[in-house]
Amino acid sequence: MKNCILLVFGLLALATAAKLNYTGHKVIRVIPETKEQLEFLRDWESSSEIDFWLLPSSAGRFADIRVSPESYAHVAARLADMKMSHTVHIADVGELERQEQHNMAQRIAIFNGEKAIDVENYHTYEEVMAYLAELANTNPLVSTKVGGTSEEGRDIVQAIISSDLSANKPVHFFDCNIHAREWITAATCVWIIDQITTGYGSDPEITSLVDQYDWKFVPIANPDGYAYTWNTDRNWRKNRLVNNGSTCVGVDANRNFPIGFAGSGSSSDPCSGTYHGIAAFSEREASALRDLIAADRGRVKTAISMLWQVVSAKSLPCTLQAKTSTSDAIRHPHLNLGC
């Protein structure tokens, strides 16, 4: 057992060493009080100069910005020029990542294997896909469907939970991890899948919900970007498309839908974290979500994108709200398919 624990920690240490090092990077928090300050932040965010973790939707709401040690003084000066002060929200992003790896390793060491996957931990793309495949093979409620293939050849997999697929029941649709670095969203989808599949037949509310509705989940909607966050850059956000005419990689697939395409909160710069792509639905990830929802046209009663930024789980049944409140549950704003 001791050797197993040491192996787990050793493998995680090697994985961490291979990644980009964010030691000394800070996340600073600033609150725009005026429309001019808000527009300044929005314009700045659409450039590739710094990494906004959160952009406020209105004046009076905070923005979170990751800055490197080299850029901190410059960013602070620009904010001061706009009469905006800031506080340090996270003092060392690199240390935060190391703590995350430590916590993951601890859970791996103590996981007793009663379930196919530890739903309280983060997992790689391959582990999540293996979990879905095992569920589909062992649980009659569960089936899977490939909604599309990523640029690097990974399947975009939908898990379907239904007590009677032939009944064409109303559908609740969830997609998670469209932003690669937001691991909590995939973990939330996996947790909900586990709650439904283990609760059916024993929990009256869950049993009733499954008998009334079909539940469909895309736990990792951006598989290439997600894999990249595990292997290379924990803070990567976009997919891994090689952009023609640019040395910068990736499109923010969450900005690649027709509703609001190229509008506020997105960028035309391929080097930006919010680059919207060359056209709506140009990205395989966005097209896959479109096609999966369109396949159930007229039956989709709720379409929810799990994002990290703002908590709102009111549209979910009360049994499922406790966990989803750790991330976002936002009614899907991107599609207009007559759901």
User: How far apart are the C-alpha atoms of 198 and 2, rounded to whole Å?
Assistant: 31
Helices (H), the chain: 2-17, 35-45, 72-81, 93-110, 125-138, 183-199, 204-212, 223-231, 284-294, 318-324
pLDDT of 165: 96
- Phi and psi torsions of 205, nearest 5°: -70, -45
User: How far apart are the C-alpha atoms of 286 and 325, rounded to whole Å?
Assistant: 24
Indicate whether this model's pTM tops 0.75. yes
pLDDT of 309: 56
Is beta strand 330-331 parallel, antiparallel or unpaired with respect to 300-306? antiparallel
pLDDT of 144: 98
Residue entry with tokens 């916590």: 103
pLDDT of 264: 83
User: How far apart are the C-alpha atoms of 326 and 143, rounded to whole Å?
Assistant: 27
pLDDT of 315: 39
Token reading at 119: 């739903």
Quickly count: other Cβ atoms within 10 Å of residue 99's Cβ: 11
| CA distances (Å), origin 86, targets 47, 95, 159, 170, 235 | 20, 21, 43, 47, 22
Sign of the torsion formed by the C-alpha atoms of 275, 279, 280 and 285: negative
Burial of 320 from C-beta contacts in 10 A (0-12 / 13-18 / 19+): buried
Is beta strand 51-54 parallel, antiparallel or unpaired with respect to 86-90? unpaired
User: How far apart are the C-alpha atoms of 25 and 7, rounded to whole Å?
Assistant: 29
Rounded (5°) CA angle 96-229-217: 110
Tell me the pLDDT of the chain (339 aa) as tens digits: 444 444 444 545 545 456 899 999 999 999 999 999 999 999 898 876 689 999 888 999 999 999 999 999 999 999 999 999 999 999 999 999 999 999 999 999 989 887 889 999 999 999 999 999 999 999 999 999 999 999 999 999 999 999 999 999 999 999 999 999 999 999 999 999 999 999 999 999 999 999 999 999 999 999 999 999 999 999 999 999 999 999 999 999 999 999 999 988 899 999 999 999 999 999 999 999 999 999 999 999 999 999 875 433 333 443 443 333 333 333 333 333 332
Sign of the torsion formed by the C-alpha atoms of 195, 197, 203 and 205: positive
Residue entry with tokens 């935060």: 96
| CA distances (Å), origin 112, targets 12, 31, 184 | 19, 45, 22
pLDDT of 7: 43
User: What SS3 state is found at 50?
Assistant: coil
Token reading at 36: 């001019």
Pair 179, 308: CB distance under 8 Å: yes
